[in-house]
Amino acid sequence: YSLQSNQALQASAWVGSKVIIPGNFIKLEKDHISSIGAEILETSCEITIFLYAKSSELVRTVLLEQVEHGYYEFKWDGLNQQGARRPIEIYTVIIQCIKEKKISHLKTLIAANVNGVNLGDKKGDAIRLSIADVGEIRLDQVMGMGRL
């Protein structure tokens, strides 16, 4: 078997499953609990999470005290800053790390459903996954399986 054949077989097994990929949005679901992850490269830092509606309106700001190095998962209850429930839609998320007055943006991760696999038209084309609410991504962008 070729490497591409093995990758195609692996990718096809993921259809209907969730994969963890880079992304900066949360899809607020029916149960009004949504998650996004972030990779914290500093030893620790103060985290600020900004959630924006499709209209670019700032919906919620969450401040967290010192968060340690590693992966962090943020669960959003679907409420805005005033405590009102937000409608089901996709929200943009920006996560900042503040350490010693230096601000850096964190790489954010989402868990999304794999809807299908595109093997490409030509030999050597990268295998692509069709991801719900995202579109197509390369297979090598997948960082893991399952929920955050």
With 0-12 / 13-18 / 19 or more C-beta atoms within 10 angstroms meaning exposed / middle / buried, residue 34 is: buried
- Tens-level pLDDT at each residue, the chain (148 residues): 566 778 888 888 899 999 999 999 888 877 777 888 888 887 788 999 999 999 999 999 999 888 888 888 888 999 999 999 999 999 999 999 988 889 988 889 998 899 999 887 666 678 899 998 889 999 889 988 887 6
pTM over 0.85: no
First to last CA, the chain: 32
Residues 81, 106: Cα–Cα separation, whole Å: 22
Burial of residue 127 (CB within 10 Å: 0-12, 13-18, 19+) is middle
